[in-house]
Amino acid sequence: MERYRIGLIPGPVRIPEEIKRIWLNDYASPDIEDEFFTLYHEDQILIRRLLNTKNDIIITLGEAMSVLWAALKSTLKQGDRMLAVSSGLFGDGFAEMSRAFGVNAEVCSFPYDEIPDPEKVREHALKFRPKVITAVHCETPSGTLTTCLHEIGKIAREVDALFVVDFVSSAGGAFLDVDYYNIDIGLLGSQKVLSLPPSLSISSISERAWEIIEKVKYSGYEAYSGWKNVPSEHLTPYTHDWNAVKALNISLNMILSEGLENVFKRHENTAKLCRSLGREIGLKLYPKSEDICSPTVTAFYVPEKFTWPEFDSRLREKGLAVGGNYGILSGKVFRIGHMGSQADCELISEAMNIIRELC
């Protein structure tokens, strides 16, 4: 199936032509060519700029879920305590994934249409004393942005826990400062703001995190060990994907040459337009207030006169594809993904005109 005429799925997003063309190249073996490791190292430096960090950056195969697993399995063992700060499906997911391998996980839980309250997180963390605290920057299913990562990061330091953050659908589209927020492990995928196929995952890893990783000694396909010294040792734990690493380089250069501030503004403007046109049409925003809405994705309630499958198929008849939802939001809330290549006011206007005709 080809791309949608008006595609606003919140990932994978549309891949720009400059990036698509990379897959016409037939690269040599990334295992043995110095040129590959130079490119990998260049990507690491660009990602540090994107994330505002001096921490190590590793670039691995598999989309974002592979590094969510890597972060948990590389830092937690059976019986360890972890606290998942959650106001959404991905926040809850961290706890469920940890329990699956015997971790003692608790959830510091908030309604899905709100964001976490740091005071409650502090109370819970002081009582539970977790080894790892997880949080999610943009809860893509709810369309919210957790704006208090700095406060949660401080709490993690207070209780001497590692701070693991999923910024899969926000990094590059919303302000993020990994070092200021004290993020020990930051997680990113390629198919959201970076506008690449779902083939790469990226982690930022602090010295504190490496110390724990070296103690836990997890080994497995997605394990972090083996990735620490890739550019200097010229060795990766498995054969890398040269096309994808090159495409990542182009995507990062596109973002950084537009200027991070300008890219954030483009996302914010698109989100604002989406919310204001939605209000005009009579759509009801899912998040409780506008100030917690993510600049990368907007979640609205499905209009009352349609079921989600009806609404979806009517939109698709007109060439528009938006995102449905999962879990308790399934059938109730739909999402407009305006991240990366889709952070485009014209695209949003076109989409909203189609929705207007139906509502």
Ligand X SMILES: *Cc1c(COP(=O)(O)O)cnc(C)c1O
Name the site residues for ligand X (rule: CB under 6 A): 11, 63-65, 90, 136, 138, 140, 166, 168-169, 189, 192
Q: 3-class SS at 332?
A: coil
To ligand X, the closest distance from the beta carbon of 90 in angstroms equals: 4
**For residues 30 and 172, which CB has a smaller minimum distance to ligand X in the complex?**
172
| Pick from 335, 183, 340: nearest CA to 264 | 340
User: Bridge-partner residues for 163, per DSSP?
Assistant: 133
To ligand X, the closest distance from the beta carbon of 196 in angstroms equals: 12
To ligand X, the closest distance from the beta carbon of 126 in angstroms equals: 27
CA distances from 95 to 98, 100, 187, 197 (A): 5, 9, 16, 27
Residue type, 358: L
**For residues 118 and 323, which CB has a smaller minimum distance to ligand X in the complex?**
323
**For residues 189 and 340, which CB has a smaller minimum distance to ligand X in the complex?**
189
To ligand X, the closest distance from the beta carbon of 263 in angstroms equals: 18
Are 292 and 114 in contact by the 8 Å Cβ rule? The answer is yes
To ligand X, the closest distance from the beta carbon of 332 in angstroms equals: 18
CA distances from 232 to 40, 325, 353 (A): 11, 43, 53
**For residues 65 and 212, which CB has a smaller minimum distance to ligand X in the complex?**
65
**For residues 168 and 347, which CB has a smaller minimum distance to ligand X in the complex?**
168
CB-based closest residue to ligand X: 140
| Residue environment code for 136-149, b if the CB has 16+ CB neighbours within 10 A, otherwise e | bbbbbbbbbbbebb
